[in-house]
Structure 1
């Protein structure tokens, strides 16, 4: 019986990253030496490294509205389910701001409607001469034109009589003055009508300016209201509570305490929620061993909290950039976890054993 056994193992100084290279061949059948080369044993290589369980879905809940934290209902590390109340708030001040803007917008809309009615009435009065003053001046002009026509007719007759010597020049001039007065009355009525029309045109221009200014303000108010309401329509806000919007979450860092006053001037981090259904392992592989790690490689994961447990995984990404960590140069490697259970939690430390690519066979 021929047995060959070779074991190579390298470990990092800090003990956090290691490479284990080993080759094993089981007991083979007895082979006669016929002068031919014996079959070479298969070499199996692995890379050992240290890793941390993380969640790919970490939701940071920020608040950018004025509020007061009335109660913190959870603790860091607590498991929470969808709809569970995390933080209770008092947002009455913010709600009042929205209501105030809504009332202002409602008043503006009433004013705009009144401006529109006034504009249409004046426009109609101008176009159809239905404005009371325009109608008055039109009637005055018509009456003055009639009187003027009568005065001109009488003046013409008087001029004939003057030519015949019946009237003196002084009497004729008197009739001419009367006719001129009637003509002036016509001109005054025409001028009054034109002035009123110009006055209405100026009023219409003022109404348009006012309408445009109020429309612009109304649009701005509508935008403000929508923006403010949108801040209240987030998936993690319900009434005056911040709730969990993940089915299987765990509370991360809490950034507020009961009694905290939150200002709208600066967005405040309230807490983070980690999704336990999207866990993965981030392992640190020493740079001298990264050449042996490939995408899709199988991985054995052993949590330090219970090393008797083993989870299967696969390498899904290898970082394109090395980093310095604990005075060592490492390359972060992401490992997808296969079948998970409730024991494995975010931030657990784990040991990983990565099946490395077997490039060479051991020599006999």
Structure 2
């Protein structure tokens, strides 16, 4: 195929077969002789377009914590396999920050224990009730109360059973008209459906009653705490408040430490190295240099999956209505212009763009065979058949 970079050709090929006749003269045809006539008139509509091979998706790798790039072990365009080392990092300072956070938590716990031990019996009771109150309030507001969840799950199951029973009942009503089932069988199905609906009604009432009961427990706890606080001194109240404050600080610090550790659990992070964690990839772009200091969250490189490449071609606006998603296409590469690669239209953009003064629509062609010969950025000629 001759490569065309600026010409878009809408072509129609017409193939005419030959007509052959055996054993006849211009005057008459012998009935015993075979007369065969073949005529082929086949139209093939095609659109010749030009474009490039593009990655279906570009994956971005990022480091979520402060670090310094020590080495970069590849270049843009390299094809790498799973487990290949891409870069190495120095993040000793980040590890030290985690150690400091662990020490902070330990000190807070020691301080909390000392503060708790200095409380008088009534203040201890207040502290315990406050802790219980927070738990109950959180469960109600977040929908995490185990007893309420159990009833909610029962209602979901009953909803599914009712839906199935209603469909079965409707089918049975149509069957009874043609004698497919007996009146007794239909009545049984009706009673079964009614029983399921009644069970759901009872479960919903139980849920409302239990929710109300638990809210009353919360209100009762609040009242109990208020009454106890009237009997303790200001000093005891301050000590109890200190314990509560330390509890909050410990919880906050533990959450922060958990988040810090989670940032080191990325599949592509192995000790100090960044490695490829997918089957294979092509390095599309390296965004850092050796010695770059990362604050956390910055992307370090972009990768493409070589098994998920597509051809992106530009189709003139005048011809876009002639093609549809799913229609066949052939691709031709500059490296092998005579070898067709089978493809199909997988996406048609819903907005036009201007290319060299002409309105164009981007059309994505998905390769259906011989994907391995495609490379990111290759130029392609394509024929779309419609």
- Which TM bucket (shorter chain)? 0.5 to 0.7
**Which residue is equivalent to 2:248?**
216
1:83 aligns to 2:65 (yes or no): no
2:15 to 11, 21, 25: 25
Structure-2 separation of matches of 1:343 and 1:209: 70
**Aligned positions of 1:176-187 closer than 5 A:** none
Contact 1:17–1:285 (8 Å) recurs in 2: no
Measure how far apart 1:121 and its partner are: 5.1
Structure-2 separation of matches of 1:102 and 1:337: 53
Measure how far apart 1:240 and its partner are: 1.6
Measure how far apart 1:335 and its partner are: 1.1
Larger radius of gyration: 1
**Which residue is equivalent to 1:339?**
369
Contact 2:345–2:364 (8 Å) recurs in 1: yes
After superposition, the C-alpha distances for 1:178-207 in whole angstroms (9 at most, x for unaligned) are xxxxxxxxxxxxxxxxxxx99963333112
After superposition, the C-alpha distances for 1:221-279 in whole angstroms (9 at most, x for unaligned) are 12222222222222222222111122121001101111112223xx4221111011111
Structure-1 separation of matches of 2:355 and 2:110: 66
**Which residue is equivalent to 1:271?**
301
Structure-2 separation of matches of 1:336 and 1:84: 28
Q: How many equivalent residue pairs?
A: 269
Question: Residues 124 and 333 of structure 1: is their aligned pair in 2 closer, same or farther, counting only changes over 3 Å?
Answer: closer
Secondary structure in structure 1 of the residue aligned to 2:307: helix
After superposition, the C-alpha distances for 1:67-109 in whole angstroms (9 at most, x for unaligned) are 1111001110001111211110001111111211121012212
Structure-1 separation of matches of 2:115 and 2:318: 79
TM-score norm. by structure 1 comes to 0.67
Question: Residues 327 and 226 of structure 1: is their aligned pair in 2 closer, same or farther, counting only changes over 3 Å?
Answer: farther
Secondary structure in structure 2 of the residue aligned to 1:43: strand
Measure how far apart 1:115 and its partner are: 2.8
**Aligned positions of 1:94-105 closer than 5 A:** 94-105=94-105
**Which residue is equivalent to 1:235?**
267
Contact 2:267–2:277 (8 Å) recurs in 1: yes
1:301 to 326, 331, 348: 331
Question: Residues 317 and 17 of structure 1: is their aligned pair in 2 closer, same or farther, counting only changes over 3 Å?
Answer: farther
Structure-2 separation of matches of 1:30 and 1:290: 41
Gaps of 5+ in 1: 1-10, 33-37, 127-196, 357-364
Structure-2 separation of matches of 1:122 and 1:291: 81
Question: Residues 350 and 122 of structure 1: is their aligned pair in 2 closer, same or farther, counting only changes over 3 Å?
Answer: same
Question: Residues 318 and 242 of structure 1: is their aligned pair in 2 closer, same or farther, counting only changes over 3 Å?
Answer: same
**Which residue is equivalent to 2:282?**
250
After superposition, the C-alpha distances for 1:136-189 in whole angstroms (9 at most, x for unaligned) are xxxxxxxxxxxxxxxxxxxxxxxxxxxxxxxxxxxxxxxxxxxxxxxxxxxxxx
**Which residue is equivalent to 1:259?**
291
Secondary structure in structure 2 of the residue aligned to 1:258: coil
**Which residue is equivalent to 1:144?**
none
Structure-2 separation of matches of 1:320 and 1:94: 47
Structure-1 separation of matches of 2:300 and 2:123: 57
TM-score norm. by structure 2 comes to 0.63
Secondary structure in structure 1 of the residue aligned to 2:246: helix
Q: C-alpha root-mean-square deviation of aligned residues, in Å?
A: 3.0
**Which residue is equivalent to 1:156?**
none
Measure how far apart 1:125 and its partner are: 11
